[in-house]
Amino acid sequence: MNDVVLIDAGGANLGSVRYALERLGADVRVSADASVIRAARRVILPGVGTAAAGMARLRQAGLVDVVRGLRQPLLGICLGMQLLYESSEEGEVECLGLLPGRVARLLPAVGDAGTPAVRVPHMGWNRLHRVAGSPLLDGIDDGAQAYFVHSYAAPVDGTTIAVATHGREFAAVVGEGVRFGAQFHPERSASVGSRLLRNFLSEAIA
């Protein structure tokens, strides 16, 4: 159905993302080859771990300028979404700069007794609330739940498509032009994640 390349930057979720895409009928390749990535119809940057380690892997593979120069639809997943921003507080690292803003620690809310009211990392199911229209969320109801695992989050701004709240509100799905990000794990989010990936593969995203 689609030529999709998953950027091989060492993320532990590569296999599960590939499987989720293949279940949708996508023709998927995992590659760190610049020519293969540039030739893809769709590119996905998955990732788990820290921003500093993620950027270091991209630099070592010679892929920073490759990703920055992509003109086809690009989707960052979890850490991959965070790497699309200008910088991250996690390790005080410069990121790809494809989206404006800085990723910051997701601080826990404090309860009446001065103890954290929520735990960090944010791990588990949480509701998505739309703040803007996008074909990336077609068929996904407002309030639908997705599965998150993260300690840092992107700001809510003009690129935000959907938000979630854990201690504070943060950007859960973002998009600007053909650059998109999902802070949650679509490959672990059942029908919601499957629909988001299907939407990304569709001709509505071009």
pLDDT at 107: 81
| % of residues, the chain, pLDDT over 70 | 94
Q: What is the pTM of this model?
A: 0.94
Residue 78 among the catalytic residues = yes
Q: What class is the 3-201 domain?
A: alpha beta
Query: Tens digit of pLDDT for each residue in 83-129?
Result: 999 999 999 999 999 999 999 999 866 766 666 678 999 999 999 99
Q: Of the listed 90, 95, 150, 187, which one is catalytic?
A: 187
Active site residue 129: no
Query: Phi and psi at residue 55, in whole multiples of 5°?
Result: -70, -35
Chain Cα centroid distance, residue 7: 13
> Which of these is catalytic: 22, 94, 185, 203?
185
Please choose, from the candidates 160, 153, 191, 157, the residue with its C-alpha nearest in 3D space to the C-alpha of residue 174: 160
Of 67, 75, 72, 68, residue with least CA distance to 17: 75
Which tens digit of pLDDT belongs to each residue from 130-153? 999 999 999 999 999 999 999 999
Is 185 an annotated catalytic residue? yes
Calculate the alpha carbon distances from 69 to 16, 86, 115 in Å. Answer: 26, 15, 45
* Selected catalytic residue, list 22, 78, 86, 90: 78
